[in-house]
Homo-oligomer: A and B are copies of this chain.
């Protein structure tokens, strides 16, 4: 850690106190255009309520003065801020990167700014952050929320809220439909000669982990493949490494994990133990996070369109902001199997 010398420090920008020259207001424009401030306000917010002529005059004046609305002044009477909030459980987790990206992209496409916060996996922190945000934003996206359904409903009754990766009755949700992807995966595995499969589960409280396990069971029933569930200590690369011995002990020749991180750790450990992937054991991850194709062999995984989730959730919110009702049931987005090198025919 080098620290900077302290000579000739950068000066703090000139403060704009009460009486000083500040950014131009609608009053300045009004003066320049020779009209009343309220006319300026109308011209600049709803381009219909003013004559074409004065409209132009005002717009020119605004341009000339390089005018920008003061969002706070506008928010005060209207309550709208042109921002949407996003709370993620863990900024550290790559799964959320895509969600953030998706939300930011479709938000900014509609001229909304994204405000970000993290709950650090704590329901309490999450609630606090949510409450604080709710005051500042027009709508809120909760990605994999940890707090009670009840609390979420309460928030949703205040301002539009959209939830990702969890279904909550009465609240707009965007949820990947895992069945399709899982079904594809199990079919592919079965076709490659696998008859015994293990599912490495995620955190017990995870709504999604349960859904995925159910999906695996259903698909395995259908394709006549045996399925066992294994527990992981944590849904990380490390957790994946740790579960390797259980996988081996289970006798399964194919594994589907709760997420890609687990799959990557598992594969690393298995390979370190001398196993050939996929010749001796096939590994299928979940989500298709950034980096899933960095491994050797590249990871086969069930892609969960996280970016789309973020994007859809934002779109949902913006629609509600336009006054539309939210969707009746959860919005489901498809998952799909992405076959790469870590799964294949069993060479036995």
Tell me which of B104, B133, B332 contacts A91 (CB under 8 A): B104
Interface size class of A (residues with CB under 8 A): 35 or more
A157 to B115, alpha carbons, bound, how many Å? 24
Q: Which residues of B contact A9 (CB under 8 A)?
A: 325-328
Question: Within the complex, which residue of B13, B76, B115, B132 is in contact with A116, where a contact is CB–CB below 8 Å?
Answer: B115
Question: Could you tell me if A68 and B135 are in contact, using CB atoms closer than 8 angstroms?
Answer: yes
Cβ of A233 under 8 Å from chain B: no
A334 proximal to B (CB < 8 A): yes
Query: A83-116 toward B: CB 8 Å interface, digit per residue (1/0)?
Result: 1000000011010010011001100100001111
A170 within 8 A of B: yes
| Contact of B71 with A135 in the complex, beta carbons under 8 Å | yes
For residue A83, which residues in chain B have a CB less than 8 angstroms away from its CB?
115
Contact across chains for B79 and A16 when beta carbons are under 8 A apart: yes
With known contacts A2-B177, A94-B97, A323-B12, A135–B271 Cβ distance under 8 A: no
Chain B: CB-nearest residue to A170: B10
- Docked Cα-Cα span, A112 to B72, in Å, equals 17
Within 8 A of B (CB), among A311-339: 320, 323-334
B71 touches A136 (CB 8 A): yes
Asked if B81 and A104 sit within 8 Å, CB to CB, the answer is no
Instruction: Please tell me how many copies of the chain the complex holds.
Output: 2
Q: In chain B, what residue has the closest Cβ to A10?
A: B326
Check if A3 is an interface residue, CB within 8 A of chain B.
Answer: yes
Q: In the complex where A75-B72, A83-B115, A328-B7 touch, is A334 in contact with B2 (Cβ < 8 A)?
A: yes
Known: A6-B328, A10-B327, A327-B9. Is A117-B94 also a contact (CB below 8 A)? no
Seen from chain A, the residues whose Cβ lies within 8 Å of a Cβ on chain B are 1-14, 16, 23, 68-73, 75-76, 79, 81, 83, 91-92, 94, 97, 100-101, 104-105, 108, 113-118, 129, 131-133, 135-136, 156-160, 170-172, 177, 264, 271, 290-291, 294-296, 320, 323-334
The 20 sampled A-B contact pairs (Cβ below 8 Å) are A2-B333, A2-B334, A6-B327, A12-B323, A12-B324, A13-B159, A23-B135, A71-B72, A71-B136, A72-B75, A72-B76, A76-B76, A94-B290, A100-B116, A113-B116, A114-B115, A115-B115, A291-B294, A294-B294, A296-B296
